[in-house]
Amino acid sequence: MKKALVTLAALILWPAVGTTDVSSAAITSEISRLGANKVVAKLYESPKDWRDLMAAVATGKPQWLQVAVKLHSGVDGGTAEELLEAIGEGLEHRPKDVLALAVPTFRLEDICGGPDIDDSRFDSIQSAFAAIGRRQRKVASIAEPDLRKRADECIRMLEESKHQIERFFGKPSAMAPNKSLERTREG
């Protein structure tokens, strides 16, 4: 009986998780009711919901960036890293919104870095550099004077992130033509 009541309470108190669609409005409402820590914990307990949230934040759409800002105080360690990576990916889609809405809650140097090389989409130097290039081109298109300094700094930081990618994969000039570098890890 007690287990049934706990399950019922969880279903009533947490409508945003476990559904096929995690909405920004539902998450924002839950943050207001439960706080960022509990919402992050609940979302992270459901791998599908967490992946859906990260994909939504990566679009750079304002409603999802606002959710990311509200979740900021509830993330740490791995969840913080994943959230930052998703916001950074948003630079490829809506850089103006990312730089206007996510900063200063999130530090510019954390957003304007290279992609997550553990993500299979960016697991070669070519794919990582391509993502950085897309981000730089999109950020360079920002014309708003109030964001221009921030955009220029972001472009510089993205350029610097290439050095970290090179250190991990090796310099591009050392690669054979049309051949991806394989990462090796000690451990």
pLDDT tens figures, 93-146: 999 999 999 999 999 999 999 998 888 899 899 999 999 999 999 999 999 999
The answer on pLDDT for 8 being more than 50 is: no
Do 97 and 60 meet the contact criterion of CB atoms below 8 Å apart? yes
pLDDT at 185: 32
**Which of 54, 62, 59, 55 has its CA nearest to residue 82?**
54
CB atoms under 10 Å from CB of 105, counted, come to: 15
Q: And the tokens for 35?
A: 């706080």
Residue carrying structure tokens 């539902």: 26
Alpha-carbon distance 61 to 98, whole Å?
8
Q: And the tokens for 99?
A: 């730089």
CB atoms under 10 Å from CB of 74, counted, come to: 20
pTM of the model: 0.80
DSSP string covering 22-77: --HHHHHHHHHHH-HHHHHHHHHHSHHHHHHHHHHHTTT-HHHHHHHHHHGGG--H
CB atoms under 10 Å from CB of 169, counted, come to: 21
Q: What is the pLDDT of residues 43-83, one digit of tens each?
A: 999 999 999 999 999 999 999 999 999 999 999 999 999 99
